[in-house]
Structure 1
Amino acid sequence: MTRATPESRDRYRLFQPITTRWMDNDQYGHLNNVVYYSLFDTVVNRFLIDNGLVDPLGGAMIGLVVNSHCHYFAPLAFPEPIEGGLRVDRIGSSSVAYGIGIFAQDAGTAAAQGGFVHVYVDSTTRRPMPLPDPMRAALREIAVD
């Protein structure tokens, strides 16, 4: 197994500012590891909602996380301003693999990076659904080659 190394900003196609919260810090004075997964979810879903690709409260299609991972490289802490970098690593027929990096504001490399896979399903039956063409087009805009 090879050791992960922090990725640079140029590996990500979209950046979003994120506000840390007092409750995000753990007793060691930095963001708790579970917070990073919440940040990942926020970065992806903000992209999806901002682009009108999903309606989490009433849409016919929802994304279910079926795989996730994270590598940690440097501590971050409240009230530090941070940014979430996003890219699409793979687009399948009903799934999308996202790459996410969490950066200290203006840092050149990620403090944490990872990703997850969404499988898009019918919100009622929970059966996989093909990705709609407008969604595919928006995902391709932030996909890595």
Structure 2
Amino acid sequence: MSQLKSRKRQDYPYFLSYRTRWSDNDQYSHVNNSAYNLWFDSIINTYFIEHCAMDPATTKRMGLVISSTCDFFAPLSFPQIVDLGLRVNKLGNSSMVYETAVFAEGSDVPAAVGTYTLVFVDRATSRSAPMEPQMRQALGRLVLGPESVPAKL
């Protein structure tokens, strides 16, 4: 966890800004844990759509989450604006591990870091399927850092 807590903005090659909503807060006036998962899902799917030519309505392959974690380091609250960072830590033929970080606007230290493992499957059969070349190439641009281990292309 200390490795994740020491992350900085420069550790993430792709960003998406998000304006928190009143409904993101819980009864304690901070962003509810479940909102973070929505944000993490939003950034990876935005990247898939914008950079990997993935149309959720017609794609033949989809990523299934088989593992996820989130480590919280600082509270956030409406009406803060947050910046979501994305990186890929491992890129296999039909799977990937990606990491997301939530930064309060103007902060270089993450308030939370999440990791997800996705396995790509054929939509019709639900069987493991290799990533399409364009997706794999676009995701490869997000692999960085000494702990990141890209698989052979």
* TM-score normalised according to structure 2 size: 0.89
**2:102 corresponding residue in structure 1:** 102
Superposed CA offset, 1:76-114 (max 9, x none): 111111110000000011001101000101201100001
**2:125 corresponding residue in structure 1:** 125
SS at match of 1:40: helix
8 A contact 1:93–1:130 mirrored in 2: yes
Q: Equivalents in 2 of 1:52, 1:130: separation in Å?
A: 14
2:19 corresponds to 1:19: yes
Q: Aligned residues, how many?
A: 144
Distance 1:138 1:70, change over 3 A: same
* TM-score normalised according to structure 1 size: 0.93
**2:148 corresponding residue in structure 1:** none
SS at match of 2:7: coil
Letter matched to residue 21 of structure 2: R
**1:58 corresponding residue in structure 2:** 58
Unaligned runs of 5+ in 1: none
Q: Equivalents in 2 of 1:19, 1:6: separation in Å?
A: 24
SS at match of 1:59: coil
Alignment of 1:1-145 (within 5 A): 3=2, 5-145=5-145
8 A contact 1:6–1:113 mirrored in 2: no
Letter matched to residue 27 of structure 2: Q
Q: Equivalents in 2 of 1:117, 1:137: separation in Å?
A: 18
8 A contact 1:8–1:108 mirrored in 2: yes
8 A contact 2:52–2:138 mirrored in 1: no
Moved over 4 A (4+): none
Unaligned runs of 5+ in 2: 146-153
